[in-house]
Structure 1
Amino acid sequence: MPLSKLFSLLQYPIPHHLLSRLVGFFAECRVAWLKNALIRAFIKAFKVDMREAAEPDPTAYATFNDFFTRALKPDARPLGEGLLSPADGNLSQFGPIEADRLLQAKGHRFSVVDLLGGDVEAARRYSGGSYANVYLSPKDYHRVHMPLAGTLTEMVYVPGRLFSVNSATTDHVPNLFARNERLVCHFDTEYGPMAVVLVGAMIVAAIETVWAGQTTPLSGQVQRVRFDQPIRLERGEEMGRFKLGSTVVLAFAGKVDFDTSLTPKTKVSMGQSLGGFPDPGPEFV
């Protein structure tokens, strides 16, 4: 049996949420010697480049989480043209949404309806559109930015498991992104509806947004929040962050002309151009 398959199977019996809360406890620890030791060990293990951080001194961060969600220098991520990558990471899969399904990995597809927490009406908006999955590895910058300018209309918390989302697990766990805990953010853009889905993962202590702070589920049920007062975020503006790594799934109602140089598992940076849209059709004007 391949090690990747074994790794994915071993995750099924693990108490995902309990383990994540335990890691979250240490990630918020303010005992100087302990948090400094954790940060230094992490930098060494994952070869984190602190030269691009706004605060390059690892000991200056109050907690491990503060270090992990560190800001970058203002010029560290220049914005490209058209559709932007929302984060640093690997562009694991991308392309057209076919038969209302997205590709997770070779041999594994999942439905837009399941990804959006069972919302059939919302899923219809993306029929015939495009998608992109960006996996954030532990060494990456962990703030998520807007791929397009948009107005937030709804935020949906969807409960679920917390499987790891690395390549070994995405290759072997069916419907991974549609079964993990996630936060679905719906936006209106000049190119039609856009969903930015922040997918939780094992030992991800929390997901935050700039408009609501840390997501704190009140129950094991899907929770929807509508926004009657417009929340407008500009292209490239920060919209959220992961406290430990995970995946961002983007869904667009319009067809994206992805850059021809991109291939699955291409390394991308936040702000890098992923492609563009044809002129918006009359239904989007």
Structure 2
Amino acid sequence: MAGPSNKLMTSSEPEPNPSDRLKALAMQALPTRLLSQLTNRIARIKTPWIKNTLNRFFVCLYRIDLEQAVRHDPRDYESFNDLFTRALRPQARPLSTIPNSVVSPCDGTISAIGQLSGDQLIQAKGVTYPIAELMADLYNPELANGMFVTIYLSPSDYHRIHAPLRCSLEGCQHIPGRLLTVAASAVRAIPKLYVRNERLVTTWQTPVGPMALIPIGALNVGSIETAWDHQSSPDLAQGDEVGRFNLGSTVIMILPQGTVDWNQALRATSRVLMGQSLGTINDNR
């Protein structure tokens, strides 16, 4: 894989096509909150024959490799949600050994990566939104013109989120909103999609300055759990667990301007794994 470069680039989803716009209209008309509540209840059923059937179907449908998980048998999970938020064996997601790496906080597919234009974060080609609206009360102007990456987690992905570098929690705010799908077609066609959706804004202090790490809720994802007690302010090492999605969604990470040289091989649609190097800290900033 090609190494990082000082040349800045931004890659994102293309402009929407007519099919994207039609799907977006249909999605916005759905009772997504009701559907998500129903899915939430089904996902927590513990009746053995029901949850075992759901678990086996899910593993087969999405070709889940449970050999990477701590528990290999779908029947060993007490519910579908327990399977969905499964823990992996430590060796399944080794941290990058590239010096000064900023690692991916999760498994998924890159939706956009690059640098903000002022306080505008790119969602798709021709579609931007202000990070001040995304972050609400925790907006930090030091992140203007910052380095960002947006990663979409599909149902087949590992759904825990980890620290991309050493960090200490500074703030945490839950922001209610819609639960619209964050699939690629919606990202291309629904303006301010991530600002509209429910999200958990977390802000951190890192060796390179402030960092925002923002899990975004989506259809069937009305619950984002943190790995710490909200009465505490944890200090995390790189790779420590930050939280998890109860069903899939998106993670947005923002760091200050010029702090990271993104790996130039990464583009929108690139697959990444938790612990993989996304780029390296720029010591010449």
TM over 0.5, shorter chain: yes
- 13 and 32 in structure 1: CA distance in 2 versus 1, 3 angstrom threshold: same
SS of equivalent residue, structure 1 residue 116: helix
Aligned length: 265
Match of 1:201 in 2: 218
Deviation at 1:15, TM superposition (A): 1.6
Q: Partner amino acid for 2:53?
A: A
Match of 2:271 in 1: 267
- 205 and 146 in structure 1: CA distance in 2 versus 1, 3 angstrom threshold: same
- 173 and 212 in structure 1: CA distance in 2 versus 1, 3 angstrom threshold: farther
After the TM superposition, which residues 140-219 of structure 1 pair with which residues of structure 2 at under 5 Å, given as runs?
Answer: 140-212=157-229
Match of 2:81 in 1: 65
SS of equivalent residue, structure 1 residue 138: coil
Give the gaps of 5 or more residues in structure 1: 214-226
Q: Partner amino acid for 2:241?
A: E
* Alpha-carbon distance in 2 for matches of 1:265, 1:108: 17
Match of 1:222 in 2: none
Match of 1:116 in 2: 135
Deviation at 1:254, TM superposition (A): 3.7
After the TM superposition, which residues 57-96 of structure 1 pair with which residues of structure 2 at under 5 Å, given as runs?
Answer: 57-80=73-96, 81=98, 82-96=101-115
User: Any idea what the Cα deviations from partners look like across 1:88-139, whole Å, max 9, x if unmatched?
Assistant: 000110111112111111221111111102x3x7231201211100100000
| Match status 1:7 vs 2:23 | yes
* Alpha-carbon distance in 2 for matches of 1:9, 1:75: 43
* Alpha-carbon distance in 2 for matches of 1:3, 1:46: 24
CA contact (8 A) 2:44 2:81 kept: yes
Match of 1:17 in 2: 33
Identity of aligned residues (%): 40
Deviation at 1:280, TM superposition (A): 7.4
Bigger drift between 177-186 and 252-261 goes to: 252-261
| Match status 1:238 vs 2:257 | no
Q: Partner amino acid for 2:118?
A: A
Aligned structure 1 segments of 4 or more residues deviating by more than 4 angstroms: none
* Alpha-carbon distance in 1 for matches of 2:58, 2:233: 39
CA contact (8 A) 1:191 1:280 kept: no
CA contact (8 A) 1:192 1:254 kept: no
